[in-house]
């Protein structure tokens, strides 16, 4: 995590933008606000694109979608922490599936918002405690909702990468990655699709679209004989 966390904010309510610095920054917090804007495009056209974390309101009045805005911010580099007045399950799930690392409701204590900013800046997930129940279920009862970091850890680990290598790839500690993988296993177990082994995690990831399907066996043309593949080729 950087020594000083640069934060930018996108909200179409001037009163919110005017007050961001006063309730996000605090003496010794290590957080500073470097830019605010009413739209994502306006923010990314200026110094806000260099922020570590962007606070994003979901309900902007410019006609853009949540998915589009989160994708644009992530493509520019910053992590996304949604700061919204809505605690509706659909809003939370839409933002998390689109790639937001965190979700905080606007009536949270400022200390909680600062904690969320620090977690997201460190590459970790954060969701308001009162909303955590939403991630325990999905619209498909046997398909658990995974956070962006849980999904990334699953994809890397399930395709054969050692835990230590996953940690390096994600720029996190090995212990943090183990926690993400453990949470993925817990969620699949609660959904009735336990995955205690790495190969079972791989199958769950493929089944739920987190990884592409493994290739079907290739049949050689007549006359070329049978081409042999290692037994594990279809799992790579």
Q: Are 12 and 61 in contact (CB under 8 A)?
A: yes
pLDDT at 136: 61
User: Taking a C-beta distance cutoff of 8 angstroms, is the pair 121, 129 a contact?
Assistant: no
Predicted confidence at residue 18, as pLDDT, reads: 81
Residue 117 belongs to a domain: yes
Distances (CA, A) of 36 to 12, 46, 67, 108, 211: 10, 10, 20, 20, 36
Whole-Å CA distances, 39 to 2, 23, 67, 93, 182? 26, 21, 14, 22, 37
Q: Pairing state of beta strands 31-37 and 5-10? A: parallel
Q: What is d(CA 127, CA 116) in angstroms, rounded to the nearest whole number?
A: 8
In a shared domain, residues 197 and 122: no
DSSP secondary structure code for residue 225 in this structure: -
Is residue 127 a part of any domain in this protein?
yes
Q: Which residues of the chain have pLDDT under 70?
A: 1-2, 135-142, 213-236
Indicate if 163 and 120 belong to the same structural domain.
no
Does 63 fall in a domain?
yes
Residues 84 and 156 in one domain: no
Tell me if 86 sits within 8 A of 42, measured CB to CB.
no
pLDDT score at 56: 95
Q: How many CA atoms lie within 13 A of 115 on its CB side?
A: 10
In this structure, the answer to whether residues 200 and 113 fall within a common structural domain is no
Q: Do 24 and 61 lie in a common domain?
A: yes
State the residue range of the domain holding 52.
Answer: 5-136
160 shares a domain with 43: no
Cα 160 to Cα 21, 55, 78, 163, distances in angstroms: 44, 35, 28, 9
Cβ contacts of 215 within 8 Å, gap of 6 or more: 234
How far is it, in rounded angstroms, from Cα 79 to Cα 57? 14
Q: DSSP letter string over 53-119?
A: EEEE-S--TTS--HHHHHHHHHHHS-EEEEEES---HHHHHHHHHHT-SEEEETTS-HHHHHHHHHH
Q: For residue 163, what is the domain's CATH number?
A: 1.10.10.10
Residues 6-35: pLDDT tens digits? 999 999 888 888 888 877 877 778 899 999
Do 95 and 170 belong to one domain? no
| Residues 113, 196 within the same domain | no
Q: Give the gyration radius of the chain's Cα atoms.
A: 21
Tell me, what's the pLDDT at 228?
42
Torsion angle, alpha carbons of 40, 35, 84, 91, to 10 = 30
pLDDT score recorded for residue 140: 57
Q: Do the beta carbons of residue 191 and residue 183 sit within 8 Å?
A: no
As a whole number of angstroms, the distance between CA 124 and CA 118 comes to: 9
Regarding whether 70 and 27 lie in a shared domain, the answer is yes
Residue 220 lies in a domain: no
């Amino acid at each position: 995590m950087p020594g000083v966390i640069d934060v930018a904010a996108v909200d179409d309510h001037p009163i919110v933008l005017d007050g961001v610095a006063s309730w996000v920054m605090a003496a010794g917090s290590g957080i500073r606000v470097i830019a605010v804007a009413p739209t994502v495009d306006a923010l990314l056209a200026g110094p806000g694109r260099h922020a570590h974390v962007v606070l994003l309101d979901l309900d902007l009045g410019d006609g853009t979608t949540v998915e589009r805005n989160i994708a644009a911010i992530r493509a520019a580099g910053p992590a996304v922490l949604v700061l919204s007045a809505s605690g509706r399950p659909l809003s939370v799930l839409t933002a998390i599936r689109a790639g937001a690392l965190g979700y905080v409701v606007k009536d949270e204590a400022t200390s909680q918002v600062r904690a969320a900013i620090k977690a997201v800046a460190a590459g970790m997930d954060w969701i308001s405690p009162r909303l955590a129940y939403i991630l325990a279920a999905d619209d498909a009862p046997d398909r658990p909702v995974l956070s962006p970091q849980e999904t990334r850890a699953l994809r890397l680990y399930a395709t054969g990468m050692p835990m230590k290598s996953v940690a390096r790839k994600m720029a996190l500690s090995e212990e943090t990655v183990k926690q993400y993988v453990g949470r993925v296993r817990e969620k699949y177990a609660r959904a009735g699709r336990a995955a205690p082994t790495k190969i079972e995690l791989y199958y769950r990831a493929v089944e739920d679209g987190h990884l592409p399907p493994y290739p079907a066996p290739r049949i050689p043309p007549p006359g070329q004989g049978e081409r042999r593949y290692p037994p594990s080729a279809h799992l790579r």
